[in-house]
């Protein structure tokens, strides 16, 4: 009986170790970004988790000449990776590459992903009237890992 129990436990550890679900997201504190955005009426959601440790974040509000479109650009930098987030409210965003996007589920929402050159991808979705475009530049070359990291990051938005 002990051998059987030991074998089952060992088998569970082996299965867990071989799982493709090795996505490790790092918690991201949005408080500094939220403080920078406090003067603006438009308050898009931001990620609470990213697939890398953030070393630097840059925030860009829209230029004054196009302030009628509520649009922000955020750059999240890690040691060897980066996320660029573009948020737009009040104007539909489209791409010339829309036909190449693949549909994905982001929690309760639909989104679409485009895998570009190795390690680069774009995830797009709309939530509460805000269009989000998340671009990922990574050393990771496995498209399924990149896709899962992006979907989990998008699902963490608050």
Q: What is the pLDDT of residues 56-111, one digit of tens each?
A: 999 988 777 665 668 889 999 998 888 898 888 866 666 555 668 889 999 888 99
Residue 9 included in any domain: no
Q: Would residue 16 count as lying in a domain?
A: no
Q: Enumerate the β-bridge partners of residue 132.
A: 87, 125
Per the domain annotation, does 66 fall within a domain? yes
Identify whether 21 is part of a domain: no
Return the exposure string of 105-119: e unless at least 16 CB atoms fall within 10 Å of the residue's CB, then b.
Answer: ebeeeebbbbbeeeb
pLDDT value, residue 14: 45
How many CB atoms sit inside 10 A of residue 131's CB?
Answer: 19
Whether 11 shows a pLDDT value over 80: the answer reads: no
In total, how many domains does the chain have?
Answer: 1
In a domain, 19, yes or no: no
Burial of residue 121, with CB atoms counted within 10 A of its CB: 0-12 exposed, 13-18 middle, 19 or more buried: buried
- Domain span at residue 134 reads 26-155
Residue whose C-alpha is closest to residue 57's, from 40, 70, 73: 73
Q: Which of 50, 48, 46 is CA-nearest to residue 24?
A: 50
In order of 68, 82, 117, 127, the CA distances from 139 in angstroms are: 37, 10, 11, 29
pTM recorded for the entire structure: 0.77
């Amino acid at each position: 009986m002990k051998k059987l129990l030991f074998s089952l436990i060992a088998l569970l550890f082996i299965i867990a170790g071989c799982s493709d679900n090795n996505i490790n997201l790092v918690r991201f504190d949005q408080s500094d970004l939220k403080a920078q955005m406090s003067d603006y009426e438009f308050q898009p959601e931001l990620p609470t988790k990213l697939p890398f440790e953030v070393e630097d974040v840059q925030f860009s509000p829209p230029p004054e000449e196009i302030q009628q479109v509520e649009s922000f650009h955020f750059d999240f930098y890690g040691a060897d990776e980066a996320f660029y987030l573009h948020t737009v409210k009040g104007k539909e965003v489209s791409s010339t590459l829309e036909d190449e996007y693949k549909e994905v589920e982001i929690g309760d929402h639909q989104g679409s992903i485009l895998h570009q050159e190795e390690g680069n991808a774009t995830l797009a979705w709309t939530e509460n009237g805000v269009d989000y475009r998340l671009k990922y530049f990574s050393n990771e070359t496995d498209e399924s890992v990149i896709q899962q990291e992006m979907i989990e990051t998008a699902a963490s938005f608050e």
